[in-house]
């Protein structure tokens, strides 16, 4: 199989349909054609209907699809699949691989109707989910930050893709043709976009990225058919609005940062969208922005129909360590102190675990899930209280964790079978320096890591108490977590080992070294009666499954 480029009217955009051709002889051509027809026949159900029923997003994740970034709206990254389970995981074998021959894959794939859709910056790939064969490839080369990309969203027969120059594109799922292209934010001001949008009813909601952008972070909702903007929500309120009093002046307020890097979660019954926001600017220096600096480093609840803020909780008031709160806010419907509650849980970059009532934003529990030296305790609102000696200085302040965070973008997971919340945690000891005096814009300091190691931790969701700990050794782990009904937890370490752990105890039940650091999150689906585990490693997508004759005894 090889690609024949098809130039669009825009020379920056290429869509590739994959066809077979051969220059050897007619016999080879015919044999190839027959093989392709057989392949298409075997996967006909997947190619005949490339649309996504929007109702699939509302219900708990089905076994044959992974329709949104976290699998479903809750953010749990728990799959009901159990064909691959604790009794047979040692029989896992490689089903197929697909190479992009490009940048490392940091995206979580979508799987809909037998097709995988995944991204790297400037690129979308559609491949067959059963055989790993290419279907189409979209490329749009632009200037901008290419730090990574998390994936696409899907609504009916269309895909939605954010870009390195802060655009939002709508494409047809059938062939990757652009339907519309809008600007989310001005890339000349330092904005770019890396996140996977989320579909909520008739809204496509996308955030923006920016490492040292002295402007406001924003969420934008657009019409899925036309791209018309429905609303904007800014992470810093307008002057005079609630929250603006937490900034010293209008200049600081309107240049306060707070990017909306990662995909949020959603409760259809409450009709509330939950999102984590980024750190304030200037970064690492806070004397020009005294106050809590709302709504940066916050978990917010927003009405998706109006863009109006319903409530907010701030894990890191007046952040001066680059500890954004964009980590996934996981939605739990569990018992808390004897009562069934609608809960929201986050393991935040600052090293603390937070449990909230997601209806009202009421704080329920705060605890540290990893070593930290920057906070002396917790205030009446459940927020950590910063130690003055942790402030970056020209001589340096020794602080744990470093700016990379006690956790970061790597996906956490919640397993309803064990009642445990899982987080990839890191011990990072760093020296924070202030490097700029006077008026500061962008970065006002830097930190230097002295030591780091990683551990996977299971927490009691009610208290944040550590139930078990799986040490991963010296180094910085960046893999996300997937749990399944097969009594398995899948992740990877920084040495290139794929791991399957017992989610009750943290003990390793299977591992395989793939020789490269994993910087994405795993996902799973089942088609044609076979479950697949998808693992992005570098520029390669690996699919693992059981041999077709393996007995799938459930444990």
Distance CA 221, CA 199 (A): 9
Q: CB under 8 Å to 31, separation ≥6 — which residues?
A: none
Q: Which position among 322, 404, 415, 493 bears the catalytic label? A: 322
Yes or no: say if 452 and 400 are a contact pair by the CB < 8 Å rule: no
Yes or no: say if 248 and 290 are a contact pair by the CB < 8 Å rule: yes
Is residue 322 flagged as an active site residue? yes
| Other Cβ atoms closer than 10 A to 208 | 28
Distance CA 17, CA 23 (A): 19
Instruction: From residue 315, give the alpha-carbon distance in Å to each of 143, 326, 327, 384, 445.
Output: 34, 10, 11, 7, 22
Residue holding tokens 């919640």? 414
Long-range contact list for 42-46, CB < 8 A, 24+ apart? 42/130, 43/114, 43/128, 43/130, 43/131, 45/113, 45/114, 46/113, 46/114, 46/115, 46/128, 46/129, 46/130, 46/527
Q: CB under 8 Å to 84, separation ≥6 — which residues?
A: 92, 484, 486, 488, 524, 531, 533, 545, 546, 552
Yes or no: say if 378 and 350 are a contact pair by the CB < 8 Å rule: no
Residues facing 541 on adjacent strands = 98, 536
Q: Which three-class secondary structure state does DSSP give residue 170?
A: strand
The residues annotated with a catalytic role in the active site are: 322
């Amino acid at each position: 199989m090889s690609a024949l480029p098809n130039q669009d009217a825009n020379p920056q955009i290429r869509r590739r349909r994959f066809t077979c051709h051969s220059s050897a002889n007619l016999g080879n051509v015919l044999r190839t054609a027959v093989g392709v027809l057989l392949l298409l026949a075997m996967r006909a159900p997947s190619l005949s209907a490339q649309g996504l029923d929007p109702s699939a997003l509302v219900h708990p994740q089905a076994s044959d699809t992974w329709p949104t970034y976290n699998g479903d709206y809750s953010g749990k990254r728990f799959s009901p699949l159990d064909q691959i389970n604790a009794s047979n995981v040692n029989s896992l074998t490689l089903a197929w691989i697909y190479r992009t021959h490009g940048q490392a894959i940091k995206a979580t794939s979508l799987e809909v109707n037998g097709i995988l859709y995944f991204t790297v910056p400037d690129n979308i790939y559609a491949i067959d989910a059963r055989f790993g064969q290419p279907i189409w490839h979209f490329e749009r080369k632009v200037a901008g930050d290419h730090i990574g990309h998390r994936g696409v969203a899907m609504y009916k027969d269309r895909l939605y893709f954010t870009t390195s120059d802060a655009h939002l594109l709508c494409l047809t799922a059938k062939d990757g043709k652009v339907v519309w292209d809008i600007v989310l934010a001005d890339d000349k001001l330092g904005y770019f976009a890396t996140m996977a949008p989320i579909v909520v009813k008739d809204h496509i909601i996308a955030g923006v990225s920016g490492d040292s952008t002295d402007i406001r972070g924003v969420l934008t909702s657009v019409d899925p058919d036309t791209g018309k903007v429905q609303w904007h929500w800014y992470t810093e309120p307008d002057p005079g609005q609630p929250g603006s009093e937490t900034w010293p002046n209008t200049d600081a307020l309107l240049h306060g940062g707070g990017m909306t890097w990662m995909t949020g979660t959603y409760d259809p019954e409450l009709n509330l969208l939950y999102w984590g926001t980024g750190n304030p600017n200037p970064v690492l220096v806070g004397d020009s922005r005294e106050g809590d600096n709302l709504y940066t480093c916050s978990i917010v609840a927003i009405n998706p129909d109006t863009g109006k803020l319903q409530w907010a909780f701030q894990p890191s008031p007046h952040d001066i360590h680059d500890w954004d709160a964009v980590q996934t806010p996981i939605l739990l419907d569990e018992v808390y102190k004897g009562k069934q509650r609608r809960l929201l849980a986050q393991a935040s970059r600052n090293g603390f675990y937070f449990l909230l009532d997601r209806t009202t934003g009421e704080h329920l529990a705060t605890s540290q899930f990893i070593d930290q030296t920057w906070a002396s305790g917790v205030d009446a609102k459940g927020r950590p209280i910063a130690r003055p000696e942790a402030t970056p200085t020209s001589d340096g302040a020794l602080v744990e964790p470093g700016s990379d965070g006690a956790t970061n973008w790597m996906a956490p997971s919640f397993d309803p079978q064990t009642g445990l919340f899982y987080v990839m945690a890191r011990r990072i000891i760093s020296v924070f320096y202030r490097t700029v005096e006077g008026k500061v814009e962008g970065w006002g300091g830097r930190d230097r890591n002295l030591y780091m190691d990683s551990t996977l931790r299971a927490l009691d969701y009610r208290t944040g108490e550590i139930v078990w700990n799986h040490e991963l050794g010296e180094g910085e782990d960046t893999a996300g977590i997937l749990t399944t009904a097969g009594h398995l937890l899948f992740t990877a370490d920084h040495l290139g080992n794929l791991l399957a752990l017992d989610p009750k105890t943290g003990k390793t039940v299977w591992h395989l070294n793939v020789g490269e650091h994993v910087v994405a999150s795993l996902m799973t689906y089942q088609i044609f009666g076979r479950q697949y585990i998808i693992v992005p490693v570098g520029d390669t997508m690996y699919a693992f499954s059981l041999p077709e004759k393996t007995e799938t005894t459930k444990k």
